[in-house]
Chain A
Amino acid sequence: MTPELEKELAKIYVGQNIRMNARFGVKKGIISSDVDSTIAKELQSMGLIKEEHFYNLQLYVTTPDADSIIKPQLKAACTLFDIS
């Protein structure tokens, strides 16, 4: 995977939680217009993201395959921030 694909995939992985604290109608996903459309198509063809809908809005969410690639990398980055 190229660095550009990886960066956009990480963006979708993190950004899809934008509404996870909403009181009503919690919906996972990042608005498709916030993602580079060419890269999104490529990630979709690789089975790493899929399309979802929330009313009229088109969203992207990561698939379990993508999560298994991205999650360990970002989790490792989290441990660099030991502020305690």
Chain B
Amino acid sequence: MYIVRHFLIAFVIRRYLSLGLNFPVEQPISETEAFYATDRLLMNCEVWNFCTQFIRILEEKNLCVKTHYFVSSHGGKRKELCYVVIQEFQDCLKQMSIPIDFSEKEVEELSIYEVLVSNGRHFEEQASLLEFGLKEYFKLLEERDILEERIKPIIDKANLLGLTSKYEKLPNTKPFVIYDLHRFQAYLYRELIKPKIELLLENRTEEFE
């Protein structure tokens, strides 16, 4: 008998299995390992346990196996162990209609989290690589189709908490300065990630055999 959490199943299918055939074997445990916001969601133990439980059911049915990733660097190198899901299962998933998903706004907030976390160090008070940092920041915004206007209220709220300066669009200048990176990241987690985890773990469960 399985307990079904609809949103979590939809999450693992939409955000992982429908996009690629791989799923991590090891839970991401730090911000640096969780480059994508969806990996940051996996840092929550309840989310992680559910997702791996689902993956292990696939493994029992031979629809998923554990094997090492490999890369061409250093003349061919074995990398971390990953779950690989059968291509045919991905094809089935793509044909399924799964009505539950994050809203457009929530997806955008996850992208904003990625931009601000991966770029934060460039905007610390003491950071000197201004040109490189700005280039990276605007490149990430463009890649994720995010307008600066969407970042501003998040930074201005952080400013009220004393974590950053206000957001200002000025040429060749940091649009904002982070006073305390650690606390700023915790703020971003609270504002942008935690509500998504609560959504994933919402109590819509049912049992089936």
Contact = CB atoms under 8 A, between A and B. Distances in A.
B89 A15 contact: no
Interface residues of A, number: 31
A84 B98 contact: yes
Contact of B76 (A10, A17, A57, A71): A57
Given A55-B75, A57-B78, A78-B63, A20 B98 contact: no
Contacts, number: 90
A13 B62 CA distance: 10
Contacts of B9: 83
B67 interface: yes
Contacts of A41: none
Contacts of A82: 96
Interface in A1-55: 7, 10-11, 13-15, 17-21, 25, 30-31, 33-34, 54-55
B69 A78 contact: no
Tell me what chain A mostly uses at the interface: helix, strand, loop, or mixed: mixed
Contact of A55 (B21, B67, B76): B76
B57 to A, nearest CB: 8
Given A75-B88, A82-B96, A34 B21 contact: no
B86 A78 contact: yes
Interface residues of B, number: 34
Given A31-B78, A81-B89, A84-B97, A18 B62 contact: no
A19 B75 contact: no
Q: Which of A10, A18, A33 has the most CB of B within 10 A?
A: A18
B62 A10 contact: yes
Interface in A51-82: 54-57, 71, 74-75, 77-82
A15 B67 CA distance: 6
B62 A17 contact: no
Contacts of B22: 18, 21
Contacts of A83: 9, 13, 93, 96, 98
Contacts of B128: none
B96 A84 contact: yes
A71 B61 contact: no
A30 B92 contact: no
B21 A20 contact: yes
Interface of B: 9, 13, 19-22, 58, 61-65, 67-70, 72, 75-78, 82, 84-89, 91-93, 96-98
